[in-house]
Amino acid sequence: MERIVLPDIPNLNQIDVYLTNGGFESFKKALSQSPDDIIDQVKKSGLRGRGGAAFSAGLKWSFMPKTTDKPKYLCINGDESEPGSFKDRQVFEDNPFQLIEGAIITCYAIGAKVAYLYIRGEYHKWIKLMQKAIEVAYDRGFLGESMKKTFGNDFSCDLYIHKGAGAYICGEESSLMNSIEGYRGYPRVKPPFPAQKGLWGCPTTINNVETITNVPKIISNGWEWYSKIGAQKHPGTLLYGISGHVNKPGVYELPTGILLTDLIFNTASGIPNNKKVKCVIPGGSSMPPLRGDQLEGIRMDAESLKEAGSAIGIGGVMVMDEDTNLLKVLIRITHFYHHESCGQCTPCREGTGWMEKTLHRILEGNGTSKDLDLLISVAENIEGNTVCALGDAAAWPVKFMIQRFRDEFEQYVKNEVTIPVPNKVHSMRNTSAPLANLHK
In tens, the pLDDT along 109-165 reads 999 999 999 999 999 999 999 999 999 999 999 999 999 999 999 999 999 999 998
Q: Are 223 and 45 in contact (CB under 8 A)?
A: yes
89-98, 109-118, 193-202, 427-436 — which is least confidently predicted? 427-436
pLDDT of residue 177: 97
pLDDT of residue 325: 97
pLDDT of residue 2: 82
Confidence of residue 416 (pLDDT cuts 50, 70, 90): confident
What gap in Å lies between CA 233 and CA 246, rounded to an integer?
29
Look at the domain 231-321 and name its fold: Ubiquitin-like (UB roll) (3.10.20)
- Exposed e or buried b per residue across 259-288, where buried means at least 16 C-beta atoms within 10 angstroms of its C-beta: bbeebbbebbebbeeeeebbbbbbbbbbbb
pLDDT of residue 67: 87
pLDDT of residue 427: 55
Q: Are 39 and 61 in contact (CB under 8 A)?
A: yes
pLDDT of residue 361: 94
Give yes or no for residue 419 having a pLDDT over 90: no
Instruction: Give the closest residue to 130 by CA, choosing from 141, 140, 119.
Output: 119
What gap in Å lies between CA 319 and CA 276, rounded to an integer?
10
How many Cβ atoms are within 10 Å of 407's Cβ, its own excluded?
Answer: 7
pLDDT of residue 415: 76
In tens, the pLDDT along 2-20 reads 899 999 999 999 999 999 9
Instruction: Give the closest residue to 99 by CA, choosing from 187, 255, 20, 210.
Output: 210
Architecture per CATH, domain 15-228, reads as: 3-Layer(aba) Sandwich (3.40)
Rounded average pLDDT over 352-369: 95
pLDDT of residue 424: 56
What gap in Å lies between CA 13 and CA 405, rounded to an integer?
45
Q: Are 88 and 120 in contact (CB under 8 A)?
A: no
18-22, 72-76, 424-428 — which is least confidently predicted? 424-428
Give yes or no for residue 414 having a pLDDT over 90: no
pLDDT of residue 428: 56
Rg, C-alpha atoms of the chain: 24
Rounded average pLDDT over 163-181: 94
Pairing of the two strands 158-163 and 114-119: parallel
In tens, the pLDDT along 203-240 reads 999 999 999 999 999 999 999 999 999 999 999 999 99
pTM: predicted TM-score of the whole model, two decimal places: 0.92
Higher pLDDT, 408 or 425: 408
Average pLDDT, the chain: 94
Q: Where are the domains of the chain?
A: 15-228, 231-321, 326-410
Higher pLDDT, 438 or 293: 293
pLDDT of residue 166: 86
Confidence of residue 270 (pLDDT cuts 50, 70, 90): very high
Confidence of residue 294 (pLDDT cuts 50, 70, 90): very high
In tens, the pLDDT along 32-51 reads 999 999 999 999 999 999 99
What gap in Å lies between CA 239 and CA 17, rounded to an integer?
22
What gap in Å lies between CA 389 and CA 345, rounded to an integer?
11
Give yes or no for residue 426 having a pLDDT over 60: no
What gap in Å lies between CA 90 and CA 95, rounded to an integer?
8
Look at the domain 326-410 and name its fold: de novo design (two linked rop proteins) (1.20.1440)
In tens, the pLDDT along 302-337 reads 999 999 999 999 999 999 999 999 999 999 999 999
- List Cα–Cα distances, 20 to 25, 133, 196, 294, in angstroms: 10, 16, 40, 47
Give yes or no for residue 417 having a pLDDT over 90: no
Report percent pLDDT > 90 for the chain: 92
Confidence of residue 369 (pLDDT cuts 50, 70, 90): very high
Report percent pLDDT > 70 for the chain: 94
Question: What angle separates helix 369-382 from helix 390-404, to the nearest 10 degrees?
Answer: 150
